[in-house]
Structure 1
Amino acid sequence: MDGEAVKVRHYEDFTPGTIFALGPYPVEREAVLAFAEAFDPQPFHLDEEVAARSLLGGLSASGWHSAAMMMRMMCDSFLLNSTSQGSPGISELKWIRPVRPGYILVGEAEVLEARRSSTRPDLGICRMRNTLREQSTGETLLTCDYAVMLKAAGAESAG
């Protein structure tokens, strides 16, 4: 960045229709296996032969690993340089297609709706939708609808 100031995004910067690019993010085989071993040790996430005979048709990341990779992409794209105060929750998460080792994930986070909090006037709540795709094919792999809370411009710093 060579001394260039990074603009911190506030609630007011998240207007409906705003789109943040996500990725690219490489899906590494070792990471798929390590995550599955630690958090989702179902055989079709750990064993290529079992996975080939499963509904998934081959080794794939746990859906929760896919969501974690999406979270990292969100942080890299817009959350870490924003006044984000967390999320009150996810309203919908769809695992549409398996996320496989070797894929490169790309996508976007779109602001669908923005409103001020009724109980905290210094906060805004934005409803957003993420779509993740495999870079080379454009095939949609995952969608997620959620909300994020952000401090408004002029509110005390996001501590």
Structure 2
Amino acid sequence: MNSKSQWAFEDLVPGVCIELPAYEVTEAEILAFARQYDPQYFHTDPVAARQSLFGGLIASGWMTTGIFMRMQCDAFLLDSTCMGSPGVDEIRWLHPVRPGDVLRGESRVTEARPSRSRPDRGAVFSDVSIHNQRGEVVMTLRSRAIFARREAP
């Protein structure tokens, strides 16, 4: 955990691992998200989903990605100098997320590059892993975000 009031570029060096807090997934939010954004039957119809290859209702992978963002905000982003992200790479949904699952995760910094053109900031690259209460990894991704420095060199 960072002892400073804000996470800044200088804090996010390779090897830093930030634990992402628990998030319990509910059937109601799976249904609401899927009806709005991913209306495939195995996300929207608990009865029909029993006949799917998943054997029951599952969350959309896009919802799982959104949950990761919430977890990351709660863990550190809302108390950071983050200036946004140009995107993520290699999203993988490895196991279905089901109602009642409790997700946790970690974000491990793999690289931090100071900007050559803008010395007040730098890019931070992280490998993210989200798992359920059974220890199954349900999602991985590689993130990239821009963080301001506390003091420009």
TM-score by structure 1 length?
0.90
Q: Deviation at 1:154? A: 1.7
- Cα separation, 1, equivalents of 2:55 and 2:94: 14
Match of 2:110 in 1: 112
Quick one: which of 26, 29, 32 aligns to 1:31? Answer: 29
Consecutive unaligned residues of structure 1, counting only runs of 5 or more, are none
Identity across aligned pairs (percent)?
Answer: 43
User: What is the identity, as a one-letter code, of the residue corresponding to 1:69?
Assistant: I
- Cα separation, 2, equivalents of 1:22 and 1:57: 29
Q: Deviation at 1:6? A: 6.4
Match of 2:8 in 1: 10
In structure 2, the residue corresponding to 1:53 is in which secondary structure? coil
Question: Contact 1:6–1:81 (CA<8 Å) still a contact in 2?
Answer: no
- Cα separation, 1, equivalents of 2:143 and 2:7: 18
Match of 2:74 in 1: 76
- 2:40 aligned with 1:42, yes or no? yes
Q: Deviation at 1:118? A: 2.3
Question: Contact 1:115–1:126 (CA<8 Å) still a contact in 2?
Answer: yes
- Cα separation, 2, equivalents of 1:53 and 1:130: 32
Structure 1 vs Structure 2 CA RMSD = 1.3
- Cα separation, 2, equivalents of 1:56 and 1:121: 49
User: What is the identity, as a one-letter code, of the residue corresponding to 1:24?
Assistant: A
- Cα separation, 1, equivalents of 2:88 and 2:79: 21
In structure 1, the residue corresponding to 2:76 is in which secondary structure? helix
Match of 1:150 in 2: 147
Q: Deviation at 1:138? A: 0.7
Quick one: which of 93, 97, 113 aligns to 1:99? Answer: 97
Q: Deviation at 1:50? A: 2.1
- Cα separation, 1, equivalents of 2:135 and 2:84: 29
- Cα separation, 2, equivalents of 1:78 and 1:128: 13
TM-score by structure 2 length?
0.93
